[in-house]
C-alpha cells in the first residue's frame, strides 16, 4: 500500500457563510490557513461538518479552489463527494477533482448494505486519485459493514461511528489508510498507529487534537470536553465557538 495521503490530524472544515447565508469562500480558506498554521496536516472541504448537503456543486468547486490556493502544496486538500446515488457521487467527484482536490471522501449511500458498485463507479470517475470511503451511520445509515471494506476499490476509510471495537476490526481487514472521525478515539487511534484523524473539533482546538494523537492523555480528556461543550445545536454550537476564537461568521445553512 502506498504511503497515506497524510499522517496526523486533519480538520473537517466548517464552511463559512455570511449573514445572508451566502458562501464566503475567502473566509473559509482563511480559516483553513490559520488551522494549518496551528499544525493540522490536511483539510477536508465540504464534508458533513462543512454542511455539504446545503452546497451546490458550483459552491463545492469554489470552496475547493479557494482552499487549495490558500494552502501549501504539501497540505492535502480532501473534498466530500458522497451522495444518495452513484450518479450524483460520480458527478460531485469529477467536480471537486477538477477544482483541485487531492482526494475525495465519499460517504456511503443510505439504505444499502452492499455499496461495492457505488464505490466502483466513484473510483472509476476518480481515475487514480485517492478515494476514501466514509462510514458515518448517523448521517447515512446503515454505513459500511466491516466485512465489506476489503472489497471496496478505495485507498482508505474515515470512520466517524466512534465504535472502539470496530476500530480494531477495521485494522484487521482494511488494506489501506484508516482515519478516525471521532474526538473520543484520537488517543487510541494514535496508539494503534492509524494514519490519522479527521475531526470537526479541530476547527476549534487543533492543538489538543494533535497532542492527543501523539499520545497526550490529558489532551485527549480536554479534547472530549471541548467537543461536548461545542456539540450542541449542530452546527451552530461549533460555529459559535469557532467564531469566538477566530472571529469567523457563525451563520449556518443547516437548521436555518
| Lowest model confidence (mean pLDDT) among 116-120, 213-217, 235-239, 252-256 | 252-256
pLDDT tier, 2 (very low <50, low <70, confident <90, very high otherwise): confident
- Considering only CA atoms, which of 256, 253, 221, 199 is closest in space to residue 56? 253
Does residue 184 carry a pLDDT above 70?
yes
Give per-residue pLDDT as tens, 22-45: 999 999 999 999 999 999 999 999
How far is 36 from 132, CA to CA, in rounded Å? 21
Does residue 164 carry a pLDDT above 80?
yes
pLDDT tier, 255 (very low <50, low <70, confident <90, very high otherwise): confident
The answer to whether the bond into 235 is cis (omega within 30° of 0) is yes
For each of the domains in the chain, give its residue range(s) and CATH number, in order of start. Answer: 8-246 (3.20.20.70)
Give per-residue pLDDT as tens, 136-149: 999 999 999 999 99
Q: What is the pLDDT of residue 234?
A: 87
Mean pLDDT score of the chain, rounded to an integer? Answer: 97
pLDDT tier, 1 (very low <50, low <70, confident <90, very high otherwise): low
Per DSSP, helices labelled H in 19-115 are 25-37, 57-70, 86-98
Contact 223, 183 (CB under 8 A): yes
Give the CA dihedral 170, 176, 182, 188, nearest 10 degrees: 70
Vertex 174 angle, CA 99 and 91, to 5° = 25
SS3 label, residue 178: strand
Q: What share of residues in the chain are helix, strand, coil (percent, to 5)? A: 45, 15, 40
Give the side-chain half-sphere CA count within 13 A for 108.
30
Contact 88, 51 (CB under 8 A): no
* 161: number of Cβ within 10 Å: 18
In the chain, what percentage of residues exceed pLDDT 70? 99
Q: Which residue has the cell 484487521?
A: 172
Q: What is the pLDDT of residue 146?
A: 97
Amino acid at each position: 500500500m502506498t504511503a497515506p495521503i497524510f499522517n496526523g490530524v486533519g480538520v473537517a472544515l466548517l464552511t463559512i457563510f455570511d449573514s445572508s447565508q451566502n458562501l464566503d469562500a475567502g473566509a473559509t480558506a482563511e480559516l483553513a490557513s490559520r488551522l494549518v498554521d496551528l499544525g493540522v496536516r490536511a483539510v477536508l472541504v465540504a464534508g458533513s461538518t462543512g454542511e455539504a448537503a446545503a452546497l451546490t456543486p458550483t459552491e463545492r468547486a469554489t470552496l475547493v479552489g479557494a482552499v487549495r490556493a490558500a494552502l501549501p502544496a504539501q497540505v492535502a486538500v480532501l473534498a466530500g463527494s458522497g451522495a444518495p446515488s452513484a450518479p450524483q457521487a460520480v458527478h460531485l467527484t469529477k467536480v471537486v477533482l477538477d477544482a483541485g482536490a487531492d482526494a475525495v471522501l465519499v460517504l456511503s449511500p443510505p439504505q444499502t448494505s452492499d455499496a461495492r458498485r457505488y464505490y466502483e463507479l466513484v473510483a472509476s470517475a476518480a481515475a487514480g486519485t485517492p478515494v476514501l470511503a466514509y462510514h458515518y451511520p448517523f448521517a447515512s445509515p446503515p454505513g459500511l459493514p466491516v466485512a465489506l471494506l476489503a472489497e471496496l476499490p478505495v485507498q482508505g476509510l474515515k470512520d466517524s461511528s466512534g465504535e472502539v471495537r470496530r476500530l480494531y476490526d477495521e485494522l484487521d481487514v482494511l488494506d489501506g489508510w484508516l482515519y478516525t472521525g471521532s474526538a473520543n478515539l484520537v488517543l487510541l487511534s494514535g496508539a494503534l498507529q492509524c494514519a490519522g484523524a479527521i475531526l470537526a473539533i479541530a476547527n476549534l482546538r487543533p492543538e489538543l487534537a494533535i497532542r492527543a494523537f501523539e499520545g497526550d492523555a490529558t489532551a485527549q480528556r480536554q479534547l472530549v470536553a471541548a467537543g461536548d461543550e461545542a456539540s450542541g445545536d449542530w452546527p451552530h454550537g461549533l460555529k459559535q465557538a469557532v467564531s469566538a476564537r477566530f472571529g469567523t461568521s457563525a451563520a449556518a445553512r443547516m437548521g436555518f
